[in-house]
Amino acid sequence: MRTGIIGCGIAMPHHILGIREVKNVDLVALCDIDKDKLHKKAQQLEVKNTYTDFSRMISSEKLDAVHILTPPKTHSQVTVKVMEQGCNVLLEKPMAITTIECDEIITAAKRNKVKLCIMHNHMFDPPILKARQLLQKGTVGNLLGFDCTFFVDRKKLVKEGSFDAGHWIHNLPLGMFGEHAIPHVLYLVLSFLGDAKVVRANLLCNNSADKYKQVNRLNVLLSSEERICNLLILDNTDYPNFTIRLFGDKAALHINLFALTMVLEKHRNLPRGAAQLMQAAEQGIKSICSSGCNASKILFGRLKRRPGHRMLIRKFYESLANNTEPPVSGEQGREVVRVMEKIKDRLDNN
């Protein structure tokens, strides 16, 4: 299969990792409106064919699939045009800015009989896959509620140029949160929560005169018929954080998506003091073992960088080869955007 990439920005290296591991898939062309960036990336990747017009790239290269990695405000327009030229699409998150745009993309995919997949990469990280196995086995029992924290660290923001006043990220409905944090958090929690409504949303800014010290804090409470979830999202912090804690009536799961670890905390039918000691010791040992296991896997090449990206991309191309459903549907991408719209409404009405 012949594939191309539209948008040679920050997300592109993660997609390259996955594409290069898939058999019978060749990256044959790159497209970006920034000629200098385009030629630099093409030279680094040894890709000969470069374009500043994606329609011309598709028609000239006879592509089977395209990865669309442009800013979210361009997703609907670019994706629909790509599909109209008969290409399957792997689209970066968030799927679009509004649910209306999402519907336009989904309709275009059906009308042109092409496949659409959304890049919800953390859905395929090893700790999340393991957590789902434990939930299906009943190890956690009935899932009652959970919480999630996501900190966007300052180094990442500086590296990506997000402090630049003219950066497109500031024009998103939820600003930095609408690109870096909320989409990742929502597609994960919604997969556990189900149909969700936004109960509460609060945004707190410290309005520091020094933009490098201004920390924005977003707190969101979501609920479904049977479960509740609390989200805490910070930007411009000194360190990154992405953790999820799932609480069932039999056990809890503590997931760290930066360390790629998961710790199972079981209920112990012991006296309170003994149970506390046992729990503390058990969690400490499991955390060390999990981290050590990952270190050995990395050392021996069994755990590679960005495992979620790699698996999702592989599954996307498998769905093309086998004519099966893609790993993340447009409808799943739309649901994330729907909840983002509801969070924005809550914040506007506070």
Query: Is 161 a residue whose pLDDT tops 80?
Result: yes
Query: Is 178 a residue whose pLDDT tops 80?
Result: yes
Dump strand ranges (E) for the chain.
2-6, 26-31, 49-51, 65-68, 88-92, 116-119, 143-153, 197-205, 216-223, 228-237, 241-248, 251-256, 261-266
Q: Which pair of structure tokens corresponds to residue 183? A: 């989409």
Query: Is 145 a residue whose pLDDT tops 70?
Result: yes
pLDDT of 163 reads 80
Amino acid, single-letter form, for residue 167: H
pLDDT in tens, 324-335: 999 999 999 999
pLDDT of 28 reads 96
pLDDT in tens, 300-319: 555 567 899 999 999 999 99
pLDDT in tens, 289-298: 655 655 555 4
CA 257 to the chain's CA centroid? 11
pTM for the structure as a whole: 0.89
Share of the chain above pLDDT 70, in %: 86
**Residues contacting residue 111 through CB under 8 Å, at least 6 positions apart:** 83
pLDDT of 82 reads 97
Query: Is 280 a residue whose pLDDT tops 60?
Result: no
pLDDT of 293 reads 59
Name the nearest CA neighbour of 309 among 91, 125, 72, 45. Answer: 125
CA distance 232 to 220: 7
Neighbours of 268 (CB within 10 A): 13
Q: Which stretch of DSSP H or E encloses residue 290?
A: helix 272-299
pLDDT-derived band at 279, boundaries 50, 70, 90: low
pLDDT of 201 reads 95
pLDDT of 1 reads 95
CA distance 97 to 76: 8
pLDDT of 157 reads 84
**Higher-confidence residue: 95 or 266?**
95
pLDDT of 216 reads 85
pLDDT-derived band at 248, boundaries 50, 70, 90: very high
Supply the DSSP symbol for 327.
S
Range name among 187-201, 241-255, 263-277, 316-330 with the lowest pLDDT average: 263-277
Query: Is 278 a residue whose pLDDT tops 60?
Result: no
Using only C-alpha atoms, the chain has a radius of gyration, in whole angstroms, of 21
pLDDT-derived band at 209, boundaries 50, 70, 90: low
CA 279 to the chain's CA centroid? 32
Domains by residue range for the chain, with CATH: 2-119 (3.40.50.720), 126-259 (3.30.360.10)
pLDDT of 205 reads 80
**Higher-confidence residue: 164 or 333?**
333
Amino acid, single-letter form, for residue 330: G
pLDDT-derived band at 156, boundaries 50, 70, 90: confident
